[in-house]
């Protein structure tokens, strides 16, 4: 789903100062040929897309959209997208790039704990690596339930504590959180049991769930992290590590524990909600 040419044109490369035309051309080729250079999405994107099962003309909220890459990809699949986040550099760059490229995505600044939408308006919500950043994740799930329609779904991903890193070992410095978690603004990590409890507490039920970043993709991500610490840019790392990360997709079952978990939550119609 991330093989649309528009993706490369969409990103502004604001993290790299004054890139040469050759570097920009190489990045564009990577985006068009392979996809968005984020190793977690080598496996995660396929599982999330399958869980969401989007249909053209559906309206989907991209909660915590960041760069807006998912909003662009789903828009290219014919969906109507609302990209939402708190004020941050990535969000403003995404908005600016969407305007420049005339992308029909609605951008809105809002808090997931108090969504500014009427009930039953969305066919779906994606919240990818978002819940761990929000103080009250239970309130987010209840608000999400309120704004999706009866046939809608909430599809999310979260980091877990169910698999330790294989190469780079990190000590916890606050409860279950590592220094990297604190730097990223995480309030918590999850287990699959905690996610299921969170879904049930919101009056919803889990339609499907599983893991990603399990074996090979976890190794690929840790190699990437090590190389980034030595100032090697992502666009050089990604083409070589992507095939390694994809091995999980072919030989590792989704219920094998990994450092990331995805879920699909739907309204519990048996309870009349």
- Cβ(209)–Cβ(264) below 8 Å: yes
Would you give the DSSP letter of residue 190?
A: B
Higher-pLDDT residue of 7 and 191 is: 191
Does residue 178 register a pLDDT over 90?
A: no
52: burial class by Cβ within 10 Å (0-12, 13-18, 19+)? Answer: buried
* Percent of the chain predicted with pLDDT > 70: 86
Least confident window among 168-172, 205-209, 215-219: 168-172
Confidence at residue 121, expressed as pLDDT on a 0 to 100 scale: 97
Confidence at residue 239, expressed as pLDDT on a 0 to 100 scale: 76
Does residue 14 register a pLDDT over 60?
A: no
For the segment 31-54, the average pLDDT, to the nearest whole number, is: 75
Does residue 211 register a pLDDT over 80?
A: yes
For the segment 237-266, the average pLDDT, to the nearest whole number, is: 90
Confidence at residue 204, expressed as pLDDT on a 0 to 100 scale: 97
For the segment 157-164, the average pLDDT, to the nearest whole number, is: 89
Distance, CA of 35 to CA of 8 (rounded, Å): 8
Does residue 25 register a pLDDT over 70?
A: yes
Q: Which residues pair with 128 in a beta bridge?
A: 157
Higher-pLDDT residue of 137 and 100 is: 137
Q: Confidence band (pLDDT; 50, 70, 90) for 9?
A: very low
Three-state SS sequence of 107-173: EEECCCCCCCCCCCCEEEEEEECCHHHCCCHHHHHHHHHHHEEEEEEEEEEEEECCCCCCCCCCCEE
- Give me 51's structure tokens: 């869980």
Confidence at residue 228, expressed as pLDDT on a 0 to 100 scale: 81
Look at the block and give the residue holding tokens 């604001």. Answer: 14
Domain ranges in the chain?
37-271
Q: Which residues pair with 158 in a beta bridge?
A: 261
- Cβ(61)–Cβ(110) below 8 Å: no
53: phi > 0 → left, psi -120 to 50 → alpha, else beta; which? left
Closest listed residue to residue 257, CA positions, set 205, 193, 212:
212
- Cβ(184)–Cβ(159) below 8 Å: no
Give the dihedral sign, CA 260/155/176/86: positive
- Residue 148 sits at φ, ψ, to 5 deg, of -95, 150
Cβ contacts of 220 within 8 Å, gap of 6 or more: 39, 42, 241, 242, 244, 245
Higher-pLDDT residue of 194 and 236 is: 194
Q: 87-136 pLDDT, tens per residue?
A: 998 898 888 878 877 889 999 999 999 999 999 999 999 999 999 999 99
Q: Confidence band (pLDDT; 50, 70, 90) for 1?
A: very low
Cβ contacts of 14 within 8 Å, gap of 6 or more: 89, 93
CATH number of 37-271: 3.40.50.150
- Burial per residue of 229-249, b for 16 or more beta-carbon CB atoms within 10 angstroms, e otherwise: eeeeebbebbeebbebbbbbb
- Give me 118's structure tokens: 């009427």
> What would you report as the CA-atom Rg of the chain, rounded to the nearest whole angstrom?
18
């Amino acid at each position: 789903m991330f093989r649309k040419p528009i993706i490369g044109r969409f990103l502004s490369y604001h993290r790299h100062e004054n890139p040469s035309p050759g570097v920009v051309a190489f990045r564009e080729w990577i985006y068009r040929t392979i996809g968005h250079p984020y190793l977690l999405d080598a496996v995660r994107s396929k599982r999330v897309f399958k869980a969401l099962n989007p249909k053209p003309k559906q309206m989907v909220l991209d909660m915590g959209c960041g760069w807006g890459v998912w909003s662009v990809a789903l828009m290219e699949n014919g969906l109507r997208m609302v990209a939402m986040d708190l004020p941050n550099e990535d969000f403003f760059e995404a908005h600016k790039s969407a305007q420049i490229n005339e992308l029909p995505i609605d951008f809105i600044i809002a808090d997931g704990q108090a969504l500014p939408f009427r009930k039953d308006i969305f066919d779906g919500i994606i919240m990818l690596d978002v819940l761990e950043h929000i103080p009250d994740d239970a309130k987010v799930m209840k608000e999400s339930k309120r704004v999706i329609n009866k046939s809608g779904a909430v599809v999310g991903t979260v980091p877990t504590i169910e698999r330790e890193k294989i190469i780079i070992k990190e000590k916890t410095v606050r409860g279950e959180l590592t220094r990297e978690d604190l730097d990223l603004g995480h309030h918590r990590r999850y287990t699959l049991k905690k996610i299921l409890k969170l879904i049930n507490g919101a009056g919803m039920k889990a339609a499907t769930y599983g893991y990603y970043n399990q074996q090979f993709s976890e190794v690929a991500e840790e190699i990437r992290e090590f190389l980034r610490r030595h100032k090697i840019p992502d666009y050089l790392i990604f083409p070589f590590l992507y095939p390694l990360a994809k091995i999980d997709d072919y030989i590792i079952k989704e219920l094998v524990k990994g450092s990331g978990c995805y879920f699909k939550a739907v309204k519990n119609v048996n309870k009349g909600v």
